[in-house]
Amino acid sequence: MAMTLNDDQNMLRESARDFMASEAPVTHFRKFRDMGCKDGFSHGLWKQFAEMGFTGILIPEAEGGMGMGQIEAGIVLEEIGRNLSPSPFLTTSVAAVEALKLADKAMRDRWFPGILAGETVIGIAIEEGVKHRPEKIACVAERSGNGFRLTGQKQFVVQGTSSDMLIVAARTAGAVGETDGLTLFAVDKDAAGLSMEATRLVDSAMAAHVKLDGVQVNADAVIGDVDGGWAVLSKMLDAGRVGAAAEMVGVGTGAMDMTFDYLKTRKQFDRVIGEFQALQHRAAHLYGEMEGARSIVLKAQSLMDEGHAKAELYVAAAKAKAGLACNLAVREGVQMHGGIGMTDEYDIGLYMKRDRGLNEFFGDAYYHADRVATMNGY
């Protein structure tokens, strides 16, 4: 595959760019933040996402979606990142949809229509510790009656309390640390024994701490195979990772462009500060880092879309690189803005906060660099 966008993809980019810039720019984010919104996003905007077809971008055409791939989802995510548009797109339309695509028809029929309509939000309940380590899942699902009984806790469930359903990974067999023996469940938000505590994050997103206190689910709540959840989980996580990477390309590029504009206007010592060579070199270096991140993310997306054996390696590298580059962009952004970069009034600090959240989401740069090493055989 050529590493350039085709005409259809360029059209999608145009429309996503126009949509986010007009319907969900940073001022939109500020509005919902400042009202202390308990969801952390606008349900109205989520409906508009549906009208644009974004919510079903990865849902097969036969099931009413756009039947597109990670590249297209990434195009939308980049614009989300650039505008800090708050939405359940990454968790619901990317991660959850990729998991549900591996579920049986009944399950898909149950959830896809709501996602397509922009009415349904799904939370991903994977993390149990402060760092991403999916093979260490300890949450237990015991056989019980016609189904399973789930017991344990989950953290960092983004938009958890706004979700209609949680995808919960639990252990049906095997020991903590093993990838075999995991099973994924679709757990209704109203299930007895399920409790959530919402907490606001640095980037004003809402995340939930979830308790599963003997939550009873039927056998048809299983997504994929019992004990074979790792396959579904991996697909879901990789979609979430490459999606977060694409969003970070947007966040980093947004921060970078804003900073370069500032360099071209701010005056100190009777000169526009963009004339100072030390800043110019750092700007050029940053540009190279962001361009590299954009490239590896596109590569990872296209390998995923091809179902290539190396996709997992490239997704790990892309999450790591996008994380490092975006982090550099926001750090340089705040520093080059000087004092005003520290104020809540200017947007650059919001990008720094969003970067931090996305870097942590589904494994940070160090975690994924470690996986690259392992996959590369050392």
Partner 1 sequence: MSDLETFRAEARAWLEENCPAEMRTPAKGDEDVCWGGRNFVFQSEAQKLWLERCVAKGYTVPDWPKAYGGAGLSPQETKVLRQEMAKLGCRSPLNSFGIWMLGPALLKFGTEEQKVHYMGQIARGEIRWCQGYSEPGSGSDLVSMQTFGEDKGDHWVVNGQKIWTSYADKADWIFCLVRTDKTNKYQGISFLLFDMETPGVTTKPIKLISGNSPFCETFFDNVVVPKHQIVGELNRGWDVAKYLLGHEREMISGMGGDGGVTSIGAAMKAVLTEEPVLRAQMALFDVENLTFRAHGERFMDEWKTGKAHPAYSNLMKYVGTELNKKRNELVMSIGGTQALEWESERSNGGSKARNWLRTKANSIEGGTSEVMLNVVSKRILEMPGA
Rule CB under 8 A: choose which of 281, 343, 344, 366 binds its own copies. Answer: 281
Residue 334 in the binding site for partner 1 (CB under 8 A): yes
Question: What angle is formed at CA 287 by the lines to CA 286 and CA 290, rounded to 5 degrees?
Answer: 85
Q: Which is nearer to partner 1, 62 or 278 (CB)?
A: 278
Taking the CB of residue 107, how many other CB atoms lie within 10 A of it? 18
CB nearer to partner 1: pick between 32 and 260: 260
Q: To the nearest whole angstrom, how small is the minimum distance from the Cβ of residue 150 to partner 1?
A: 21
The CA–CA distances, whole Å, from 86 to 24, 45, 283 equal 8, 9, 28
Q: Which does 157 bind (CB under 5 to 8 A by kind): its own copies, partner 1, none?
A: none
Q: Residue 76: CB partners within 8 Å, gap ≥ 6?
A: 12, 16, 54, 57, 89
Shortest distance (Å) from residue 335 CB to its own copies: 13
Regarding 345 and contact with partner 1 (CB under 8 A), the answer is yes
Q: How many of the other CB atoms lie within 10 Å of CB of 347?
A: 20
Report d(CA 357, CA 378) in Å as an integer. 29
The footprint of its own copies on this chain (CB under 8 A) covers a number of residues equal to 5
Contact set for its own copies, span 249-278 (CB under 8 A): 276-278
Single-letter amino acid, residue 246: A
CA distance 92 to 80: 14
What is the per-residue binding string for partner 1 in 299-318, x denoting contact by CB under 8 A? x-------------xx--x-
Q: At which residue do the structure tokens 């870097």 appear?
A: 359
343 binds partner 1, rule: CB under 8 A = yes
Question: How far is C-alpha 286 from the chain's CA centre?
Answer: 23
Q: In the complex, what is the shortest distance from the CB of residue 152 to partner 1, in angstroms, rounded to a whole number?
A: 16
- CB under 5 to 8 A by kind: which of partner 1, its own copies, none does 62 bind? none
Report residue 376 CA to chain centroid gap: 25
134 binds partner 1 (CB under 8 A): no
Query: Which distant-in-sequence residues (6+ apart) come within 8 Å of 308 by Cβ?
Result: none
279 counts as binding partner 1 under rule CB under 8 A: yes
Pick what 166 binds: partner 1, its own copies, none; C-beta below 5 to 8 Å, kind-dependent: none
| Residues present in the chain in total | 378
Q: According to CB under 8 A, which one of 274, 312, 326, 332 is a site residue for partner 1? A: 274
Least distance to partner 1 from the beta carbon of 246, Å?
14
Could you tell which of its own copies, partner 1, none binds residue 70, using a CB distance below 5 to 8 A set by kind? none
